[in-house]
Homo-oligomer: A and B are copies of this chain.
Amino acid sequence: MHHGAEILLSLFAIFVAAQIGAEIAQRLKLPGVVGEIVAGCAIGPSALGLVNAEQIAAGTPLDVLAEIGVVLLLFAVGLETRLDELKKVGRSAFLVGVLGVIVPFALGALWAHGNGFEWTKSLFVAAAFVATSAGITARVLQELGALSRIESRVILGAAVIDDILAMLLLGVVTSLQGGEGVNIKGLLFVLAQAIGFVVVIGWVGTRVMRARAHWLERPINPLSPLTIALAICLGLAYLSTEFGLAAIIGAFLAGMIASEVPQREELEHQMQPLLALLTPFFFVVTGAKIDLSVFADPSALWMLAVVTIIAIVSKLAGGWLGALSLGRRGALIVGVGMVPRGEVGVVIASLGLAAGVFSNQTYAVIVAMSLLTSIVTPPVLSLLLRRAPAARSQG
């Protein structure tokens, strides 16, 4: 009876690899998440092959576990984020979000056009430079206990704005690529919908939670505050995908809403075992998706180097400019925090490949760039946060 034996072996291998990777990384004074991504790389299809490519493709059990892991992570991050505190950094977060999209998009488009892509295709390539993946930065901030710092709140607020803009941009470049031209009315509608979702959920949700926190205690189930919070998390994660946003944005909003209730500390505490079990799947699967064979071809390696540098410098510059009101050191932390592209860049690259815009090489390079930005960020961010005098919450 080998029912489910293969998947159990993968679960075991991934979980143990994550623990070993995180342990080694932490002993080297690196964030544990770096170790988990590298461990994923090591056990993935292009190295040891303990997990093969079909097992981590979109929609597979491991991919779904990874998604649940990152959804829970952003929920937990949201739990540590109060709406009132986020509002205080609203202006900086908005600037960081907007500039952090414009600068990478412009530089990405110029690079692509300079490399022989026609303009509509260049804009598609550029879209893959845009979207920050909040998961990796959030994990580093959480590991360092830095979520209450003002820079962290700017990064999280900017990540929400960044995701809305990236989603719109993807809509624009896809229409352009499809030869439809840009439908301004349609775009404004999509924009209004996304902003409406975030504002209504954030604003109404927090108010309802504050007034009705006692409802969480009504069910007989002694774990009911947790189970209701998890239901809200899953529900908003789903709903945000219906509004064209990433699932993690909904999860983050759900966490932020839940942070308004008196049971918040209990919830934070109860989330720990869930994160311990499930987030490793996200980071290891992320690492396992890196196709190491790309590095065998010198021209691809060169292209990867250039693309990665453009991706890092452009995001850093955009974030830095937007956060200058925090001072140079604070702005640098915010800029670095916005660098990881993670799974969002990978999704856009897959769309580009499917639409025939990207060659296999361009696809591989963009995926590798997304993951490289995720690997290089945590150590730098960790270093900066440990050295920086905490420009602590001014509220």
A-side residues, CB < 8 A to B, are: 1-5, 7-9, 11-12, 15-16, 19, 22-23, 26-27, 32, 58-61, 63-65, 67-68, 71, 167, 170-171, 174-175, 178, 219-221, 223, 226-228, 230-231, 234-235, 237-238, 241-242, 244-247, 270-274, 276-277, 347, 351, 354-355
Contact = CB atoms under 8 A, between A and B. Distances in A.
Contacts of A274: 273-274, 277
B3 A347 contact: yes
Contact of A61 (B64, B219, B242, B277): B64
Contacts of A68: 11
A164 B11 CA distance: 24
Contacts of A238: 5, 8-9, 11-12
B27 A230 contact: no
Contacts of A277: 230, 274
B8 A241 contact: yes
A5 B246 CA distance: 9
Nearest to A68: B11
Nearest to A348: B1
Contacts of A245: 1
Nearest to A174: B1
A16 B273 contact: no
A27 to B, nearest CB: 7
Contacts of A354: 3
A221 B171 CA distance: 34
A180 B12 CA distance: 29
Nearest to A163: B1
A175 B3 CA distance: 12
A37 to B, nearest CB: 16
Secondary structure type dominating chain A contacts: helix
24 contacts: A1-B241, A1-B351, A3-B241, A3-B247, A3-B347, A4-B59, A7-B64, A8-B67, A8-B247, A11-B68, A12-B231, A12-B234, A15-B227, A16-B234, A16-B235, A19-B221, A19-B231, A23-B220, A27-B220, A223-B272, A230-B276, A230-B277, A273-B274, A274-B274
A1 B167 contact: yes
A215 B187 CA distance: 56
A59 B3 CA distance: 9
A223 B5 contact: no
The 4 closest A-B CB pairs, nearest first, are A61-B64, A8-B238, A5-B241, A1-B174
Contacts of A63: 61
Given A175-B1, A270-B272, A16 B223 contact: no
Contacts of A178: 1
A214 B277 CA distance: 21
B58 A61 contact: no
B1 A171 contact: yes
Which has the most chain B C-beta neighbours within 10 Å: A27, A64, A65? A64
A219 B227 CA distance: 30
Given A2-B241, A15-B231, A61-B63, 15 more contacts: A1-B178, A1-B241, A1-B347, A2-B242, A3-B247, A4-B247, A5-B238, A8-B237, A12-B237, A16-B234, A19-B219, A22-B221, A23-B220, A59-B61, A64-B64
A26 B221 contact: yes
B1 A246 contact: yes
Which has the most chain B C-beta neighbours within 10 Å: A12, A32, A174, A274? A12
Contacts of A11: 68, 234, 238
Contacts of A351: 1, 3
A23 B221 contact: yes
